[in-house]
Homo-oligomer: A and B are copies of this chain.
Amino acid sequence: MPDNRGVTARFHAPDAARIGDTIRLPPDEALHLRRVLRLEAGAHVRIFNGRGSEFDGVVVDIAKSSVHVRLDGVRDAVAEPRVSVTLAQAVLKGDKMDDVIRDAVMMGVAAIQPLVSARSEMTLAALVRGRRRERWERIAVASAKQCGRATVPAILEPQTFEDIVAALTQMRLPSPGIMFVEPSAAVGALTPAELADAPRQATTLVVGPEGGWAPDEIARGAATCRLATLGPRTLRADAVPIVAIAALFAVWGE
């Protein structure tokens, strides 16, 4: 059902697979349809499955605890970037990491790998206790809804920086990666323009926490990553990923 700007509401339903199927919306999405948008049976909606497929649908049934939608047609999904980018991001303080997840999904990353480094103010145990990964997954879905993507990037299980270096070395993360450092932290770090030779398929961007990388982390990262810098001004830690992705996608012609 178009809103007053002519936009049809979009919902995330991982079960959506084939035209003709009737699928049940996840509880959060059902609540949003019923209570926030106040749609009724017969409403036309769009459904995306988070894996790149998007459908036209019709609401066939609304009950208190469930909403069913029939998939009537396939739509062309918004194109994904040709280069699959995994953002390996040191966990930031407070809500800043939420903003990074939201922005990275909007910018088109394929996956987000949270990490804990020497100067992170969070431990892996605290992330598990706080159920942060589940929260970030909800934020990724919300951002995909807003920006029009039919793909919801995976939020990978948080790891230590050492784990990330090992994963890059063993090619379990797309390698070589690109590790972002303060201009003063490394001689010869490359600018985005100097990284214009696009990776053919995939890469990992490695971004540090508020306090930056410890010197030995830069040394270890440099063994599997190209070191990159975003210019002479000091960027806020939570702005580094959006600036890095925007800059690299621009020089790669995405």
Contact = CB atoms under 8 A, between A and B. Distances in A.
Contacts of A191: 250, 253
Band of interface residues on A:
20 to 34
Interface in A179-223: 191-193, 211
Contacts of A107: 233, 243
Contact of A147 (B108, B234, B247): B234
Nearest to A105: B233
B247 A249 contact: yes
Contacts of A5: 211
A9 interface: no
Interface in A124-149: 146-149
Number of this chain's copies in the assembly equals 2
A38 B214 CA distance: 28
Interface centre among A191, A231, A243, A246 (most CB of B within 10 A): A246
Contact of A242 (B232, B243, B249, B250): B243
A118 to B, nearest CB: 14
B108 A236 contact: no
Contacts of A148: 232-234
A17 interface: no
Contact of A251 (B108, B146, B250): B250
Contacts of A79: 232
